[in-house]
Amino acid sequence: MPTNIESIRPQSWQGIDDIVIVGGGLAGLFCALKLAPRPVTVLAAAPIGHGASSAWAQGGIAAAMSPGDTVEKHLADTLAAGAGIVDEKIARLMISEGPDRIRDLLSYGVPFDRDLEGQLLLSREAAHSERRIVRVKGDQAGKAIMEALIAAVRNTPSIRVMEGYVVEELVVEGRFVSGVIARPDAGKSKTRVAFPARAVVMCSGGIGHLYQVTTNPAEARGAGLGMAAKAGAMIADPEFVQFHPTAIDIGRDPAPLATEALRGDGAILVNAAGHRFMTDLHPDAELAPRDVVARGVFAEVKAGRGAFLDCTKAVGAHFRERFPTVYASCMEAGIDPVTQPIPVVPAVHYHMGGVLVDADGKTTVDGLWAAGEVTSTGVHGANRLASNSLLEAVVFAARIAENIKGMLPESTLYEWPKNAGENDELVTLEDSPQLAELRRRMSAEAGVIRSGEGLKTLIRDIARLERENTRIRFSNMVAAAKLIATAAYRREESRGGHFRSDCPDTVESWRHRTYMTLKDAERTAAEIAG
Ligand SMILES: Cc1cc2nc3c(=O)[nH]c(=O)nc-3n(C[C@H](O)[C@H](O)[C@H](O)COP(=O)(O)OP(=O)(O)OC[C@H]3O[C@@H](n4cnc5c(N)ncnc54)[C@H](O)[C@@H]3O)c2cc1C
């Protein structure tokens, strides 16, 4: 992209000074704050603080800040988790900038836990070789971070927050993204509103709701990934999806989590016959890596034997005071975890792939930047190291702000554009039978265990569903689903979060990232359709 963007700005930019951010999670709000005092409009599908995975994060943020920790150690853990395809240069950059971004969060008022001497309390998580997770009151990190940022955003006059605006489309002029079109009233309005912009930053989060079982909020449905792909952006590593092995299977959507700490405390996984199946699969049994446990649970569920987390001996009578959130979820569903095993199922938790961005968060389409879970920066490779995702969101959101400030000269000319868009009849995607089927099929064939044949039938089904439902919001989801399914079909090996039962080994010649456009995915889909 040229450095003097003014010389090539599209017609629609004349008189427009707005930077539009799609999404009010951690990435979106942090970017807006870092852009201040530039005029920014944040469009969020739900009121900020709701409808965002950021507010649900329990663990915290990874940052190499303890005296014994180093960038090299954090990097080594990140590379190991990523199964051979982490972009080392970008990961090093993210990790090096982590401590400064934590200090930024402190300056915005995030009350990270501290010890008696006022030093940040750092805890340790699985696959981290050091204590490096900053958290708030144990498991309240996401909520506390979001509360602090929301207060800061509300006190920043240059930031306008439009809540309940569901962005449906990017406006593309030639090679440029020059604005977005959104539907107000949580997407229920009959009219749409256009937001011309000098720059658009996509921060729309993950893809969990493309699947039947997920831990993500309903707004995480791959819309931003789909919209960016439709605008021509290059997508990277879409096949890599991380599953949490033990979501509580009580028919709730999204599914509540039975935290990994329960297994850490000795809870065991059994099937309906009471057999402890993880001991057959891995020497570490329930404490095996997340993807191994997820496959073990999935195989039992698929075989009709069911999977249950039995905490009766390991936690027993202490359940209520030690794990109050899990306890409440179980009791609501009529399961007493003190005396009964908890039914569990793997759930989509995090998307490693996404819109390809460079170190400054720029996508391959001019005028479009992206940050947070919707992106693929390359730092996660084939599997995310726990607590690196919030870190990625803040580091790259800050870099985007710097980049945009450097590229767009400040201007005093300013007006908020608010044009009534086309009329469209009321849409309630949630009721669509095509959406329900898409989610079921994605879970069955692009889930924890995949196969070439299963993915082929999925790709054909996605094409049929696309013909049956041509609504724009569904087509955004379809675009994201197509990218995930075709990339999973093409990658004939198993690596990180991607497991193919017909190619269970990791293959050296596949030790590279996937780069694909929507057109590439559509070509593969057309070949399969014959
Ligand atoms: C239960 C849970 C626990 C987790 N725990 C941790 C943890 O401890 N540590 C860690 O590092 N990571 C954790 N993660 C992952 C992490 O929370 C996410 O990766 C991260 O918060 C993503 O931030 P984001 O800003 O990209 O997206 P989000 O926080 O999901 O925000 C996305 C925003 O975009 C909006 N949006 C979506 N589509 C549209 C649209 N079409 N138009 C307008 N707005 C739209 C949403 O409403 C929302 O405001 C966890 C995730 C979950 C689900």
Task: Tell me what pLDDT residue 10 has.
Answer: 64
Measuring from atom 1 of ligand 1, which residue has the nearest CA? 56
264 CA → ligand 1 middle, Å: 25
Measuring from atom 4 of ligand 1, which residue has the nearest CA? 57
Closest CA to 211 of 463, 443, 450: 443
How many contiguous H segments (helices) and E segments (strands) does the chain have?
15, 20
Catalytic residues: 290
Residue in the block written with tokens 């590229």: 407
Nearest atom within ligand 1 for CA of residue 220: 37
In whole angstroms, how large is the CA radius of gyration of the chain? 22
Nearest atom within ligand 1 for CA of residue 23: 34
**Residue 427 pLDDT > 90:** no
Q: Please, which residues bridge with residue 171 across strands?
A: 179
Three-state SS annotation for 488-499: HHHCCCCECCEC
Task: Tell me what pLDDT residue 11 has.
Answer: 65
**Percent of the chain clearing pLDDT 90 (strictly above):** 78
Q: Which of 221, 244, 390 to mutate to test the pocket of ligand 1 (most atoms within 8 A of CB)?
A: 390
Q: Please, which residues bridge with residue 129 across strands?
A: none
Nearest atom within ligand 1 for CA of residue 182: 42
Q: How many CB atoms lie within 10 A of CB 423?
A: 8
127 CA → ligand 1 middle, Å: 22
CA distances from 458 to 151, 461, 488, 498 (A): 44, 5, 11, 16
**Residue 60 pLDDT > 60:** yes
Nearest atom within ligand 1 for CA of residue 205: 27
Q: Which of 102, 204, 221, 380 to mutate to test the pocket of ligand 1 (most atoms within 8 A of CB)?
A: 204
**Residue 40 pLDDT > 60:** yes
Task: Tell me what pLDDT residue 225 has.
Answer: 98
Task: Tell me what pLDDT residue 158 has.
Answer: 87
Q: How many CB atoms lie within 10 A of CB 461?
A: 19
54 CA → ligand 1 middle, Å: 4
**For the segment 138-160, what is each residue's pLDDT rounded down to a tens digit?**
778 999 999 999 999 999 988 99
Stated length of the chain: 530
Cβ distance 210 to 481 under 8 Å? Answer: yes
Phi and psi at 201, nearest 5°, equal -115, 115
**Residue 15 buriedness (CB in 10 A; 0-12 / 13-18 / 19+):** exposed
For residues 377 and 367, give the distance between their C-alpha atoms in angstroms, rounded to a whole number. Answer: 18
**For the segment 5-15, what is each residue's pLDDT rounded down to a tens digit?**
455 556 666 66
9 CA → ligand 1 middle, Å: 31
Residues whose beta carbon lies within 6 Å of some atom of ligand 1: 22-28, 43-46, 51-54, 56-61, 141-142, 165-167, 203-205, 215-216, 219-220, 223-224, 257, 350, 372-374, 387, 389-390, 393
Measuring from atom 31 of ligand 1, which residue has the nearest CA? 25
| Mean per-residue pLDDT of the chain | 91
For 113-122, 183-192, 467-476, which range has the lowest pLDDT when averaged over its residues?
183-192
Which residues neighbour 167 within 8 Å (Cβ) at sequence distance 6 or greater?
22, 43, 45, 180, 181, 182, 204, 223, 224, 227
For residues 38 and 420, give the distance between their C-alpha atoms in angstroms, rounded to a whole number. Answer: 25
Average pLDDT over residues 280-298: 92
For residues 268 and 262, give the distance between their C-alpha atoms in angstroms, rounded to a whole number. Answer: 9
Q: Which of 74, 389, 473 to mutate to test the pocket of ligand 1 (most atoms within 8 A of CB)?
A: 389
Measuring from atom 13 of ligand 1, which residue has the nearest CA? 57
- DSSP state, residue 516: E
Angle at which helices 452-468 and 518-529 cross, to 10°? 100
**For the segment 478-507, what is each residue's pLDDT rounded down to a tens digit?**
999 999 999 999 999 999 999 999 999 999
For residues 240 and 398, give the distance between their C-alpha atoms in angstroms, rounded to a whole number. Answer: 25
529 CA → ligand 1 middle, Å: 34
Task: Tell me what pLDDT residue 123 has.
Answer: 86
For 36-45, 233-242, 333-342, 356-365, which range has the lowest pLDDT when averaged over its residues?
36-45
